[in-house]
Amino acid sequence: MTDLLDYIGLGMMAVMNGPALFEIGGIGLPIALVMLAAGLFTGIAVGATPGLAGPMAMAISLPLLISAFGFSPDALLPVFAFLIGIMKGATLGGAVPAILFNLPGTPDAMMTTLDGHPMARNGQPRRALRIAQLSSVAGDSFSDIVLFVCAPFLAVVVEAYLDLPEKTALLILSISFIAAVMGASVGKGLLSVSLGLVVAYIASGNDLSPRLTLGFDALDAGVPLIAAILGVLIVGEILATLETLWRNNRALDVKTEAHGTAQDGLAPGDLKRITPVVARGALIGTVIGALPGVGSTLAATLSYSICARRAKRIPDAQPFGTGAPEGIAATEAANSAVSGANLIPVLSLGIPGNAAAVFLILAADSIGGFNPGPAVFAMPEGETNPQLVIAFGIFTLMAIGNLLNWTVGGAVMRSMSVLAKVPATRLLPVVLLVSLTAIYVQETSMFAVWATLVFGVLGYAMRRLAVPVLPFVIAFILAGPLERSAREAFAATGADPWFLFSSPTSVILLLMALAALVFLGRQR
């Protein structure tokens, strides 16, 4: 127990005592904190800009951050600080154009437009923004606390009770779960997963002559990770959105604008009204967020519809859809609560559940010295586990990020409303060049840039055919661990072909994987 407290202390110190960027009044400002604040403001700005989203900003800033801070373990906390800042800021910023202009800045802010925009149109934009901010930060803080408690616990349980075969089974379960819950159909989810696996298996085998290269020398080192992920996630999105804009130049333009009246701002009794709604939304978001791949849109929809149904039963309640504060609170609390809980499987098992988590894993992978997974939470005797210090440093940063969101987040949100008017027709080509350049700088090979374009086309085609893209990316990341753990388990059990069925735990995990595909897929 005292060990744990020591680590928490070390983690906080790692953030606070890091190299100072500059000094104010003799007190050094730690670089990690500066990066956190910068990331947070960037995130709010990005969320507030229609056509941009948090993951896109994380993707573009990652190569820049790595160039700036290098590959040493000292780089981990500042880089994570910026990325976590973007993640937290973007969920907050997405509500701004949703409320003010009826235009969701991020996909998960869709439900916020339903009550947020009517309230703003009724002359209370500040009140709507304030309610959104408070509910969002409350949901985020709650799920972060759950993360702090659950991730170490889960990791310790996994490491203590799961042997190599069970770890393989657990990876199979996560991949099939993601295929089942994401997108319109299990078939298309599985297609996305299998594509991700196949691409990841190019030239990644054990043989000294690389497999599946089709004789191309350029593929001998495999498909660059960053090219595949950014291609499908970012370039595919840019190509698809540019096409939409080409058909209709005004598709992402501001349509209606709301202006405040005299009695704007939080009304008396608002806090009391939204508290139970926020609590329920935070809980829904956290539970859903902890499952890889389910996502914030579902959490927001679920929370909103549950609250709307309850509101109907109360006779004098304000109906949803007319600018009810509960409507804003229900969606914002739920979609923000997803982001913290989503890191539970990331930190404890190395399994990413959404695009933001993908980029955190990518950052850890690129810098080195921190490998998300059970080993992060090991407490070896007589030695300090630097990964655990980093983990608690990350927790500290998340807590401080929430604090910033509580205090200054609202003011930043209001100031960003102007960004909703930046035309996406000019912004997206710029984002494309920045992404391609960032990829080149990290990979130093034109092949990576061409590969990014090819994967961009794949991402575009997947969007047009309603094949979800996130399972591709997650499967791409988990493909290596899956194959390795299966090989290790097979070898460790002395070449037992039935190693996956050698223990009850692994059989249960496999049955759950099958059940996820059969039952979760059917309900749609």
Of residues 38 through 67, those in contact with other proteins by CB under 8 A are 64, 67
367: CB partners within 8 A, 6+ apart? 66, 69, 71, 72, 73, 75, 76, 79
Tell the smallest beta-carbon distance from residue 84 to other proteins (Å): 20
* Interface positions, 95-154, toward other proteins (CB under 8 A): none
From 457, 507, 515, 520, residue interacting with other proteins (rule: CB under 8 A) = 457
From 74, 110, 194, 271, residue interacting with other proteins (rule: CB under 8 A) = 194
Each residue 66-85 as x (binds other proteins by CB under 8 A) or -, in order, gives -xx--xxx------------
* Interface positions, 146-165, toward other proteins (CB under 8 A): 159, 163-164
**Cα(370)–Cα(346) distance, integer angstroms:** 12
Confirm or reject binding of residue 221 to other proteins (CB under 8 A): yes
Sign of CA dihedral 138, 139, 142, 144: negative
CB contact at 8 A, 66 and 367: yes
Confirm or reject binding of residue 249 to other proteins (CB under 8 A): yes
Strand partners, 30: 20
Structure-block tokens of residue 81: 């600080």
**Cα(489)–Cα(495) distance, integer angstroms:** 8
* Interface positions, 363-402, toward other proteins (CB under 8 A): 366-369, 371, 374-375, 378, 380-383
From 187, 276, 319, 321, residue interacting with other proteins (rule: CB under 8 A) = 187
Phi-psi region of 23 (alpha: psi -120 to 50; beta: other; left: phi over 0): beta
* Binding span for other proteins by CB under 8 A among 23-31, 127-135, 267-275, 484-492: 484-492
DSSP helix/strand/coil, 324: coil
Residue 228 burial (10 A CB sphere; 0-12, 13-18, 19+) = buried
How many CB atoms sit inside 10 A of residue 34's CB?
A: 17
CB contact at 8 A, 84 and 346: no
* Binding span for other proteins by CB under 8 A among 85-93, 187-195, 271-279, 335-343: 187-195
Smaller CB separation from other proteins, 110 or 492: 492
Confirm or reject binding of residue 253 to other proteins (CB under 8 A): no
Which secondary structure element, helix H or strand E, spans residue 21, and what is its range? strand 20-24
Q: Which of 340, 347, 341, 344 is nearest to 378 (CA)?
A: 347
Confirm or reject binding of residue 422 to other proteins (CB under 8 A): no
From 13, 34, 145, 434, residue interacting with other proteins (rule: CB under 8 A) = 434
* Interface positions, 339-368, toward other proteins (CB under 8 A): 366-368
From 186, 343, 413, 516, residue interacting with other proteins (rule: CB under 8 A) = 186
Confirm or reject binding of residue 216 to other proteins (CB under 8 A): no
Tell the smallest beta-carbon distance from residue 310 to other proteins (Å): 34
Tell the smallest beta-carbon distance from residue 445 to other proteins (Å): 6
Tell the smallest beta-carbon distance from residue 194 to other proteins (Å): 4
Rounding to the nearest 10 degrees, give the CA dihedral for residues 32, 36, 42, 45: -170
* Binding span for other proteins by CB under 8 A among 9-17, 90-98, 329-337, 432-440: 432-440
Structure-block tokens of residue 157: 């349980």
Confirm or reject binding of residue 421 to other proteins (CB under 8 A): no
Tell the smallest beta-carbon distance from residue 200 to other proteins (Å): 9
| 21 backbone dihedrals φ, ψ, rounded to 5° | -80, -50
